[in-house]
Amino acid sequence: MPIVTELTRLLGIRVPVVQGGMQWVGVPALAAAVSQAGGLGILTALTQPSPEALRAAIKETRRLTQKPFGVNITLLPTINPPDYAGYARAAVEEGVRIFETAGNNPKKLIEYFKANNCIVIHKCTTIRHAKSAVRMGVDVLSIDGYECAGHPGEEDIPGLVLLARAAQELKIPYIASGGFADGRGLAAALALGSQGINMGTRFMATVESPIHENIKKTIVEASETDTVHIFRTLHNTARVFKNAVSTEVVRLERRPGGADFQKDLKDLVSGQRGRLVYENGDKDYGIWSAGICIGLIKDIPTCEELLDRIEKEAEEVIESMNKLRVVKAKL
């Protein structure tokens, strides 16, 4: 029997799994494959160079699947911000009705999406920020724990506690993000009050993922100790794969006096260098995101194989937990 939650009902999906909005990875081929397999695929808006390019990506995704999919818009801490409003408008005009937002100050985006009858999933790393997003009118929260790839915030609260706190404090549905890669994780997330899970790193190692095969194999061969936090001294912590570049960044940050971003780090952590990792297959060429769940990934399945497996594993775990209940005999 399928696992039915508030998330599956709200989004019209079969499996309560959302694909994370990953820069350079959340492209039509992957998003469509996830949606076609029963989850919610997500296009990453800022992977596209312009709002018009996003329109084309949405149309391509729709040619590949008739199932629901969404668009991620992440607000970045940058001096020259992208055209967020243009990306949002392009997606809405192309008929997208599910959005994942992340980053600081999403109020204007959320207001625009809700005014256009869209469903908004907002990613946050603290209960405080989650409550703020609720007041802005989001429909679902994505609670992002310390284990996640990318930016886990600065408070280092692991998912086990963060999700339990969400169950205590939040009145709207939430999904679990950070550290999830299999059916056992899905079952655990449901036990903690979540209505589903968000997976990023796990979807990187799938057949339909657009990244180089060498990087997929690197993920499969890695362990849970093969990620590292950078930018801790800059209060913009990011979890990335532990390689030559990220190791050098950490070394520079730990020097007496720390590291200056513009002078010491900017060229090392260039987004274009990170993008080329996925294209040339050299794991040490630049910075690339990976979560602790990298240690759980042992193969490169299709998205359909992966989601079918996760669904089956979760059902088996839930059934095995039910068997722990012993009905007391009547005296």
1: pLDDT strictly greater than 60: yes
- Token pair, residue 268, equals 């090392």
- Token pair, residue 102, equals 């992340």
3-class DSSP assignment, residue 66: coil
pLDDT in tens, 147-159: 999 999 999 999 9
Fold that domain 6-212+297-322 belongs to in CATH: TIM Barrel (3.20.20)
19: pLDDT strictly greater than 70: yes
Q: How far apart are CA 131 and CA 137, in angstroms?
A: 10
The predicted pLDDT at position 327 comes to 73
Q: Which residues contact 153 (CB under 8 A, 6 or more apart)?
A: 125, 126, 144, 237
Pairing label, strands 227-230, 238-241: antiparallel
**Cβ–Cβ < 8 Å for 195, 7:** yes
Would you list the domain boundaries of the chain? Answer: 6-212+297-322, 227-280
pLDDT in tens, 36-94: 999 999 999 999 999 999 999 999 999 999 999 999 999 987 778 999 999 999 999 99
Mean of pLDDT values over 267-280: 95
228: pLDDT strictly greater than 90: yes
pLDDT in tens, 181-220: 999 999 999 999 999 999 999 999 999 999 999 999 999 9
**Cβ–Cβ < 8 Å for 8, 18:** no
pLDDT interval class at 330 (50, 70, 90): low
Mean of pLDDT values over 279-290: 98
100: pLDDT strictly greater than 80: yes
Q: How far apart are CA 125 and CA 145, in angstroms?
A: 6
**Cβ–Cβ < 8 Å for 265, 252:** yes
pLDDT in tens, 300-313: 999 999 999 999 99
* Sheet of 174-177, strands arranged across: 17-19, 197-199, 174-177, 140-144, 119-124, 98-103, 69-75, 41-44
The predicted pLDDT at position 131 comes to 97
**Cβ–Cβ < 8 Å for 134, 172:** yes
329: pLDDT strictly greater than 90: no
CA atoms in the 13 A half-sphere facing the CB of 179: 20
- Token pair, residue 20, equals 């994370």
- Of 70, 12, 11, 78, which Cα lies nearest the Cα of 42? 70
Main-chain dihedrals φ then ψ at residue 171, nearest 5 degrees: -110, 0
- Token pair, residue 156, equals 């280092």
Mean of pLDDT values over 126-130: 96
pTM of the model: 0.95
The predicted pLDDT at position 113 comes to 98
